[in-house]
Amino acid sequence: MTTLSLPGYGQREGDGPPTQDPFQRPDATVRSIAAYRSHQYTNGQLSIKATDGAMLKVRPWATGVVRIEYVPAGSPLQTMGSVSVVTLPATGLATSVRETSQSVDLELAENLRVAVSKNPLRLHLLRGADTIATEAWGAFQRMATAVSKQGVTGVSFRLRPGEQLYGTGARALPLDRRGRRLELYNQARYAYQNGAENLNLTLPVVVSSRGYALFFDNHTAGYLDLGATHKSVMEYGGEALDNVGYFLVAGDSYASILDRYTSLTGRQPLPPRWALGLIQSRFGYRSQAETEAVAQRMRREGFPLDALVLDLYWFGTTKDQGNLDWDYQKFPKPAAMMRNLDSVGVKTILISEPYVMRASRNDSVVRTQGLIGTDSVGRPFTVASFWAGPASLLDMFKPSAREWLWSYYKKRKTEGVGGWWSDLGEPENHPVEMHHVTGPTRKVHNAYGQAWASIFAEKYAQEYPQERLFNLARSGWAGMQRYSVFPWSGDINRSWSGFQAQIPIMLGVSIGGVGYMHSDAGGFCVGPIDPELYTRWLQMASLCPIMRPHGEGVPPEPYYYPEPYKSIVRNAVRQRYELLPYLYTLAWQNAQTGAPLARPMNYEAASGLDNEQLGNINDQYLLGPNLLVAPVIQPGQRRRNVLLPAGTWIDFYSHETLTGGQIVGRNAPLERVPLLVKAGAFLPLAPYVNTTARYHTDTLRVRFYADYDVPNSSFTLYEDDGKSAQAMAGGQFQLLSFLGTTAANQSEIHISASGQGYAKMPPSRVIELLIPRVAAAPSAVLVAGQPAPADTWRYDTTKQALHVRVRFQNQPLIVAIQGLRLNPVYTAAAPEILTLAAPGDRVFGGRTTLHYTLHTPGQHTLRIRDAQGQVVRTFQSATEMGTHQLPWNAEDQNGRPLPGGVYTAEMLGQHQRLVLVRPD
């Protein structure tokens, strides 16, 4: 892993922290921590007392991780509880404690140092001579006012020019969150689109391009001001806190920062392998017959399938939420149904909600047993405004409620349920007047979904310790990943705008330690049937951590769509199944180190390309270390620009070679989206199967993208039985290592195995090697030092690819290609001049907005044509680079209203369809 290619910003000369406070207190209602009075260092913790009676505690927690706690004057000196942190502080991390006239310093490993300046009392994290992070006006309390109602305790940090800020959870915003003020309060947003700032899953984690992360370990309602109020200051504030605790995590790469953060808050266990297959869902399957028919038709239409999701109707109507049992009139034999589905490789996933309807048969039970939220004096609270009708909200923090809920889950599990769907866990409707056993709404709200998820995780560990858990949920908090939560992005609008929001949402969550964010593929609600949108969305979903078509109002199953869309989606899903060895290895990497499956473009921080340019790319991403995915997120687009990191990149389909460190134009026919492979990479694939229940790796198809500029490369493939929860801990797996060396006229591929293996592991494997971009047949192919038989290798002249077939019997094996001549002819791929984007409204009554982005300066003509192709209106574009918009009021060039009908906006050969609807 390369380190962050970031310049060091020395804040001062010499070895001390700043001698003057560069920031003033923001307003008179804020009380910042005062100056130094005294300190002591005991049991690995530095405690500094301020002149105003406040306390600042600094504890090195792990290598590169420091916890800081601010206790205002008069607040109790107590250990703060955390719903996120799972590790205890290590000892002996500070190599020395040194006091000067200006500061108290803790020397740490990796040349790190925490310096606490005395007057004013401010904390700074340094690496050598460079200041990585420094407080601005320090820890503070903001007093409650008639407007704010709630007091806030928080801390602020200085921001540097060019510093980019990532994370913060699911936001339909650009990946770089700097300049925004964001709520930390999980909220449902029905039919949201691009631009929605606050969604179901917020995370109190900010990752900086300067090589540190801030994790604010308080789950009360709060905010992150990332340079919105003061452009050079990042501020966190939490409501009604007696004290505020946060962690500083330093690292020389995004990978090391996430490794340390997920070690602190817990890592995601391996998913069951079936979770990486196609999971089909809709709102909702209303009967056993319909459920079985969907599975049968998916098979009949040639689509793979690994799970079906049963939404609300498995227990009855929307008024029956909280029954937690089957509607036996519609699902007469659920256990037999699930057993039959499982026999053909299809798991059943059940939805449940935290609400118990007042009309539910369990209403009196949960109220009389005290299992629900209450008012301030302990009386059962009715959520009168819940969307489905009056309801009670289970108190997931109460042990008795947790046991009661698990009793139902266990019954369903015994019947054959394969996975779970925890919906509305923000909670969606959570009145501020409600109280839980751990506190009032705004204090506990953000931890609610996590408390719910922990029921499954804890009970599976106790009662089903050999089974992996799958819990589909849309809400959580820092540390949620350790509970086997697979989040989705909520009730997204079925529109191009909604689709465009999904990449930054996925990446914003992934850089916060949660590796499986995905969306309702195809879009959930409101929008009409749009086969092109559906196709492009599922193409992207096939290259995301989880693939799950879902929707209401229009069919989400791929077989409903006409040709060619149906076949295109089928091919994309089948390709995902072929990539399962790679995807499953990414899941293992995530479980080992916290590395997300889908990664921002600057995750590798490749040198040679401006980090600021790579750091806010919102329409492409890395899938693991070796693949670059560039989805098509504009209607009608058949070619798009792709920003390549440094190095060499190879087209997955055509094997064209592209020089990195530049923007290139790539063809994007409806049949596929641009998919590029890093030069030197190994990419393992497997034969297609229509369910992971039939997945096998006795044959592996391994592509080796040999490249002269990458003399050494490697990839380690992880394999186990796909279901045992103790596989990693018990060593029940196999690692297959591929090491490639490439020189001027020869390449060697070293294959080896390690690990004790697993049940039903193939005793040997056939490995079909493919080396693309080979100019001519090699002079010889040697296997284990001996000439390979002629029928085990061939050179494809047409595709310029070398195929070698070997049998690997779990002993080290070397395949040598002698006289190898690669064909490193680089493809010229001029970037597109502009992108004509989706209009504000494709169907409109009298006004819409046309959007376009100029990638190079210049002026161009935008033409509106009618259904006969006649130009009815022209506009001149802006001239400067960037995103622009043109309002059109459905009038022609002479200002006359145009009749209703189909129109087309056209600029430089790109088109957008418009439908003008006039009242009769």
**378 Cβ contact partners less than 8 Å away, ≥ 6 residues apart:** 435
Q: Is 106 exposed, middle or buried (0-12, 13-18, 19+ CB in 10 A)?
A: buried
Catalytic residue among 69, 491, 530, 707: 491
Report how far residue 788's alpha carbon sits from residue 814's, in angstroms, rounded to the nearest whole number. 11
Catalytic residue among 353, 395, 423, 720: 423
Report how far residue 747's alpha carbon sits from residue 379's, in angstroms, rounded to the nearest whole number. 74
**178 Cβ contact partners less than 8 Å away, ≥ 6 residues apart:** 159, 163, 164, 165, 226, 227
Tell me which residue has tokens 């969606």: 428
Burial 136-167 (b: 16+ CB within 10 A, else e): bbbbbbbeeeeeeeebbbbbbbbbbeebbbbb
Q: Which of 129, 90, 99, 97 is nearest to 112 (CA)?
A: 129
Annotated catalytic, 491? Answer: yes
Q: Which of 484, 410, 430, 478 is nearest to 453 (CA)?
A: 484
Q: Which of 329, 363, 340 is nearest to 293 (CA)?
A: 340
- Say if CB 330 and CB 287 are below 8 A apart: yes
Q: Which of 820, 275, 287 is nearest to 548 (CA)?
A: 275
β-pairing, 222-226 vs 181-184, is antiparallel
For the chain, what is the radius of gyration of the CA atoms?
Answer: 29
- Backbone conformation region of residue 191, classed left if phi is above 0, alpha if psi is from -120 to 50, else beta: left
Report how far residue 801's alpha carbon sits from residue 93's, in angstroms, rounded to the nearest whole number. 53
Annotated catalytic, 426? Answer: yes
Tokens encoding 634: 């504009």
Name the strands in the sheet holding 627-629, side by side, starting at the edge strand that comes first in the sequence: 598-599, 621-623, 627-629, 675-678, 648-651, 657-659
β-pairing, 675-678 vs 682-685, is unpaired
**433 Cβ contact partners less than 8 Å away, ≥ 6 residues apart:** 375, 376, 381, 441
| Cα 451-347-295 angle, rounded to 5 deg | 135
Report how far residue 355's alpha carbon sits from residue 349's, in angstroms, rounded to the nearest whole number. 19
Q: Residue count of the chain, please give it.
A: 920
Distances (CA, A) of 708 to 479, 604, 650, 820: 42, 21, 13, 11
- Say if CB 642 and CB 674 are below 8 A apart: yes
Q: Sign of torsion, CA 4 8 14 18?
A: negative
Number of Cβ within a 10 Å radius of residue 22? 12
Tokens encoding 546: 């989880």
- Which stretches of 51-158 are assigned E, i.e. beta strand? 55-62, 65-71, 96-99, 103-107, 112-117, 122-127, 130-142, 152-158
| Cα 322-326-327 angle, rounded to 5 deg | 100
Q: Sign of torsion, CA 25 27 33 35?
A: positive
What single letter denotes the amino acid at residue 429? N
- Which stretches of 612-689 are assigned E, i.e. beta strand? 621-623, 627-629, 639-644, 648-651, 657-659, 662-667, 675-678, 682-685
β-pairing, 419-422 vs 347-352, is parallel
Catalytic residue among 163, 259, 363, 426: 426
H-run or E-run covering 451 = helix 441-463
Residues designated catalytic: 423, 426, 491
